[in-house]
Amino acid sequence: MEQRSHCPDLSIVIPARNEAATIERALVSVLHQAWPLERLEVIVVDNGSTDGTAAVVCRFAHAHPELQLQVVHEPRPGVSRARNRGARVARGKVLLFLDADSRLAPTMIPTVLGHLHRGEAAVSLRVVADSNDPIDRAFFFLATWAKERLRVPTQLCAVRRDVFLAVGGFDERLRIAEDYDLLRRIRAAGWRVGFVTESSVLTSPRRLHRWPLRLGLLVTALQWLVALAGIGRDWPY
**Domains of the chain from N-terminus onward:** 10-228 (3.90.550.10)
Furthest C-alpha separation in the chain: 52
* Residue range 139-159, pLDDT digits in tens: 888 888 877 777 777 789 999
**pLDDT for 222:** 67
Q: Which CA distances in Å does 228 have to 14, 194, 209?
A: 23, 18, 22
Judge whether 19 and 100 are in contact, CB under 8 Å: yes
- Percent of the chain past pLDDT 90, that is, above it, reads 71
For residue 11, name the pLDDT band (cuts at 50, 70, 90).
very high
* Residue range 102-151, pLDDT digits in tens: 999 999 999 999 999 999 999 999 999 999 999 888 888 888 887 777 77
* Residue range 27-84, pLDDT digits in tens: 999 999 999 999 999 999 999 999 999 999 999 999 999 999 999 999 999 999 999 9
114 backbone dihedrals φ, ψ, rounded to 5°: -65, -45
Q: Please, how many CA atoms are within 13 Å of residue 22, restricted to the half-sphere of its CB? A: 19
pLDDT of 5 higher than 80: no
pLDDT of 237 higher than 50: no
**pLDDT for 22:** 97
